[in-house]
Amino acid sequence: MISADHVSVEVEGLRRQFKTKSAPVVALDGVSLKVGEGEIFGVLGPNGAGKTTMIRILSTLLMPSGGSAKVMGFDVEHEAEKVRRVINMASGAEKAGYDFISAKRNLWFFSQLYGIPGEVAEKRIGDLSERLGLTKYLDRKFYALSTGYRQRATIARAFVNDPRVVFLDEPTIGLDVMTARSIREFLQTEAKTHGRTIMLATHNMAEVEAICDRVAIIDKGKIIAEGTPEDLKRSLGAPALVMEVSPPPKDLEMLRQVAGVKGFTSSADEERGLSTVQVVVENDSAANGASAAMATAGYRVVASWRKEATLEEVFVALVGSGFKEREEEGGP
């Protein structure tokens, strides 16, 4: 539990609706959560879930329609000025700099908007750039940077005012694996060594598993689960049983008869004279049943183990469909 003294973001019954030509859209439908100082908190959800709306409200760019939100104890609606002094935000999807000045001048410009003394700003920009691998590119005009370096510059900008809380909307969208990883490492260091709170909205499960201390899964404006990535995975148990079976079975029809078996796949390893059979099970007794059925059919189970759920499986179990299907449906 987060102790009351160290709460950095506190959201209570937050609502936001948008007027549209047809019916009003409820983007946030009573969201409550607490984030502790120094935590990396993930807001995970499919397209249209309400992630950006929440980030925009918390960073004072959008007013709530109901409920309340505090950042470092300041109310986002009534004390917006105070909130702005202790936060920063960046969105991976938006272009966040002036094209015709260099990356360095961009960072300098933003540092001066915050009124940071020249020497301090110089040193901070140098340090952030170094840690984000941006130093070599600082003199390049913003438009001439590749997506990855522009994103690094955008991330640097989000830390230039030494914020206590940083809101990031899809910070690694469109980046290659290595660039995304180095940005994630940077964020972890910022949270752990400077005690900054980082709240990031994403639909990237791998990102959440890699760096988030806690995560809220949000769908249609509501939080449907919250906890550490480990908690969430444990809540689903181990939905797969993996068996190495010898000799490679000709078919796996015997598994179809076992109650609680939802599906299976197998791949044969001729050299080792065995097959690896992966069975999706509803519960432990289905797993036991599957391995017994193998033995009854005359196959030896050389080794077997259970596989923990992935965050994606948790999501599918909670929402009833994967991200892919949602995207194909065209949103919520």
Ligand X SMILES: Nc1ncnc2c1ncn2[C@@H]1O[C@H](COP(=O)(O)OP(=O)(O)OP(=O)(O)O)[C@@H](O)[C@H]1O
**Residue ranges that bind Mg ion, judged by CB under 5 A:** 51-52
Alpha carbon distances (Å) from 93 to 145, 151, 168, 171, 173: 15, 9, 10, 8, 7
Binding flag, residue 25, ligand X (CB under 6 A): yes
Piece in contact with ligand X (CB under 6 A), picked from 43-51, 64-72, 76-84, 104-112:
43-51
Closer residue to ligand X (CB): 126 or 332: 332
Q: What share of the chain is helix, strand, coil (3-state, %, to 5)?
A: 40, 30, 30
Closer residue to ligand X (CB): 127 or 327: 327
Binding flag, residue 27, ligand X (CB under 6 A): yes
If contact means CB under 5 to 8 A according to the sort of partner, which of Mg ion, ligand X, none does residue 196 touch?
none
If contact means CB under 5 to 8 A according to the sort of partner, which of ligand X, Mg ion, none does residue 257 touch?
none
If contact means CB under 5 to 8 A according to the sort of partner, which of ligand X, Mg ion, none does residue 27 touch?
ligand X
Binding flag, residue 102, ligand X (CB under 6 A): no
Alpha carbon distances (Å) from 22 to 15, 18, 25, 220, 250: 19, 11, 9, 18, 57
Question: From the list 9, 33, 41, 48, which residue makes contact with ligand X (rule: CB under 6 A)?
Answer: 48
The CA-CA-CA angle for residues 166, 30, 231, to 5°, reads 65
CB of 289 to ligand X, least distance (A): 40
Neighbouring-strand partners of residue 28: 16
Q: What is the DSSP string of 134-158?
A: -GGGTTSBGGGS-HHHHHHHHHHHH
CB of 212 to ligand X, least distance (A): 16
Site string for ligand X, 201-220 (x = CB under 6 A): --x-----------------
Alpha helices in the chain (DSSP H): 51-58, 80-86, 103-113, 118-131, 147-159, 177-194, 205-211, 229-235, 253-256, 284-296, 311-319, 323-329
Piece in contact with ligand X (CB under 6 A), picked from 19-27, 180-188, 240-248, 284-292:
19-27
Structure tokens at 106: 């961009």
Closer residue to ligand X (CB): 50 or 171: 50
Which residues form the interface with ligand X (CB under 6 A)?
18, 20, 25, 27, 45, 47-53, 203, 332
